[in-house]
Amino acid sequence: MASKNAIENTTGSGGETHQQASDDKVLTTNQGIRISDNQNQLKAGSRGPVLLEDFVLREKIFHFDHERIPERIVHARGSAAHGYFEATEDISDICKAAVFTKGTKTPVFTRFSTVAGGAGSVDTPRDVRGFAVKFYTTQGNWDLVGNNIPVFFIQDAIKFPDLIHAAKMEAQTGYPQAATAHDTFWDFISLMPESTHMIMWAMSDRTLPASFATMEGFGIHTFQMENEAGDVTFVKFHWKPKAGLQSTIWDETVKIAGADPDHQRRDLFERIDRGDFPEWELGIQAFDKAFADSLDFDVLDSTKIIPEEMLPVRVIGRMVLDRYPDNFFAETEQVAYCPGNIVPGIGFSNDPLLQGRLFSYLDTQKSRLGTANFHQLPVNAPKCPVMNFQRDGQFQMAVPKGRTNYEPNGLSEGAETRPGDEPGPRECPVTGYRSIAAATGPDEEGGKLRIRAESFADHYSQARLFFRSLAEPEQAHLASALVFELSKVGLAHVRTRMMANLVNVDPKLAKRVADGLNMEVPEASPSAAPVKDMEPSPALRIIDGPRAPKSIEGRTIAILIADGSDAGVVDELTSQIGDAGGRPVIVAPKIGGAKMSDGSVLEADFQLAGGPSVLFDAVAVVLSAEGCTQLLKEAAAVQFVMDAFGHLKAIGHTEEAQPLLDKAGVEPDAGVTDLGATFIKVAATRIWAREPKVRMLA
């Protein structure tokens, strides 16, 4: 039966395909002129020269040549979604912003990104992830522009160009792309002790998130909130994923980049498409000046955190992403986030990194989007009334009427006023935005100085806190990451300088890295302030931490089948996975599926060679003896199981599949089970106890 949207194809004299309009949907130029032929240029004769008068060709090629806009200098590779923020708790005691009125739902547009790579780079490098949220509030747009890591490399925004120049591909060679494992980055970092805490995070599993839905987000800086009475509270913002914290491991990450360069973008789209909407809680750490004064670090220092055990996170709302963009370029590419977009009740602190960002983002958006009117693009436009006397500029979309384009004005007060002399909008001292001027501590006013506060001088204590708070496997991963990165550094003195900084963090860490490089451990580098031992913070862990996943909800479980697989077992397993909130997918040698034990054909979601186990959270191998014999000859099948075991994933299997597991080198442990309730339970997380054994086998 023909589709109601079927289009009739005809063939031209040269064999080209023509699709002709059967209704009023006729192709036009940008000037609205209908097009008679969209397949051929206008020529003098069928084989003659193309005529310059062909305005259809000229316009089409001209527009195509200008379709790309400058990509972001950082955060160029991004994915985004629409959704809403719902205020779930009453915080009117500390904040008057309408977005936080309990029960209020506010539209949002959230963009996730990598930092170093270009727009065409892969989704899964070792890199910080941007986590930017645009709230379209009733009081105007508020942009909370953060990362998936709560600290940053530098304390002062004046160093940002140096940081990015050092981190990006090297100026002489043009590589590496989306990677920091090179001389210039580590030369800069080793000379910037303030970066050490961030480096601990960057080399940890936090920069290998399994998906956008399983990573945290942070506002990084200290902000201010004000209530109706004018009382000021200082806050730090936290996004906590409902799906729990999950990361990949390095070998898996490298293979994902080859198997699916768009892995995280695709995951975001597919979650929304199937109704498994990503969700986060928004929390705040709220404190006053007395609390800030009690700390032995500075809350204006963006290289520091306030441990959650010291100041718990108060959950105040939730964000749900439930709609993928209709057009990637129009929305995801053209969205413009600016930390300076703020609403009444929320204010800035004197964090010197934040203060620099308030200028930088506005400037870069104008440069990238080509006009000061970028706020008029639909994705950037506020959803509340916008009224002012700003006029003109490139790509002005508004058509203001009248001649009162200034304020104050009084044309309308006379007897001979004309249409269009209306006075227009006016300021409002009551509801308008008023800057919050409270100080977090001393020395926030005074003479003009280019100086860094002494309270910013401790660069190693929190780096030590982070490393010593991690679970043992996470510490091992961090050390391995440092070895990998520094092994790519060709200058021995840079490696030595970096290890000298690591001695201040933890001598055992420095020794592990030195052993991995086959170098001597140097003396500790000088420290500008004494290094202190802080109480470990379990909240910083991914493995066995408070936000580790507890079930398979939201996780993708692959079921590998072949001809002869038991249809009843597959049906039962599929139901069990679905009932537990997981997503079952079928993998077979061919995309058309496999002939099951009952004679039916079960179609596959993935072809085996194109669906390696790195794309899934756990695997079930449901084979008959015949199917196992078949797959023993398939290198992709052996690799599928070998990688699942090596990447510490749960493996459920039928008894008949055992020969394939044996060939793949799978050894018995708690994560290798038969099919059923035990498999569903262990599939909730990786089998970390397996890792030392796998390392030894490697």
Q: What is the per-residue pLDDT across 556-589, written as a single tens digit (0 to 9) for each?
A: 999 999 999 999 999 999 999 999 999 999 999 9
DSSP 402-452: SS--SSS--GGGSTT--TT--------TTTS-------SSS-SSSS-----
Looking at the predicted structure, is the pLDDT value of residue 39 above 70? Answer: yes
Rounded Cα gap, residues 386 and 140, in angstroms = 8
Report, in angstroms and rounded to the nearest whole number, the Rg of the chain calculated over CA atoms: 29
pTM, two decimals, is: 0.93
The one catalytic residue in 5, 30, 38, 75 is 75
Confidence of residue 366 (pLDDT cuts 50, 70, 90): confident
* Per-chain mean pLDDT for the chain: 94
What is the share, in percent, of the chain residues with pLDDT greater than 70? 99
The one catalytic residue in 141, 147, 148, 504 is 147
* Cα distances (Å, whole numbers) of residue 75 to 72, 285, 323: 6, 26, 22
**Closest among 144, 302, 256 to 617, alpha carbons compared:** 256
Residue range 432-443: mean pLDDT, rounded: 83
Rounded Cα gap, residues 73 and 158, in angstroms = 16
A 10 A CB-CB count for 65 gives: 8
Phi and psi dihedrals of 145, rounded to 5? -110, 100
Which pLDDT score is estimated for 363?
A: 85
Looking at the predicted structure, is the pLDDT value of residue 417 above 70? Answer: yes
CB–CB of 521/511 below 8 Å? yes
Q: Is 147 a catalytic residue?
A: yes
A 10 A CB-CB count for 64 gives: 9
Q: Range with the lowest mean pLDDT among 406-415, 468-477, 493-502, 526-535?
A: 406-415
Residue range 441-452: mean pLDDT, rounded: 84
Which pLDDT score is estimated for 214?
A: 97
Residue range 526-530: mean pLDDT, rounded: 96
Residue range 25-54: mean pLDDT, rounded: 91
Q: What's the chain's length in residues?
A: 698
The DSSP secondary-structure symbol of 170 reads P
Which pLDDT score is estimated for 6?
A: 65
User: pLDDT (tens digit, 9 = 90+) per residue, 134-186?
Assistant: 999 999 999 999 999 999 999 999 999 999 999 999 999 999 999 999 999 99
A 10 A CB-CB count for 475 gives: 18
Residue with token string 């996780």: 555
Q: Range with the lowest mean pLDDT among 251-260, 381-390, 442-451, 618-627?
A: 442-451
**Closest among 468, 456, 436, 512 to 151, alpha carbons compared:** 456
User: pLDDT (tens digit, 9 = 90+) per residue, 621-671?
Assistant: 999 999 999 999 999 999 999 999 999 999 999 999 999 999 999 999 999
Element holding 160 (H helix, E strand): helix 160-167
CB–CB of 247/212 below 8 Å? no
Rounded Cα gap, residues 522 and 507, in angstroms = 10
Which pLDDT score is estimated for 698?
A: 42
Q: Is 182 a catalytic residue?
A: no
**Closest among 233, 222, 289, 305 to 442, alpha carbons compared:** 289
Q: Is the peptide bond before 408 cis (omega within 30 degrees of 0)?
A: yes
**Closest among 206, 167, 204, 214 to 189, alpha carbons compared:** 167
Confidence of residue 447 (pLDDT cuts 50, 70, 90): confident
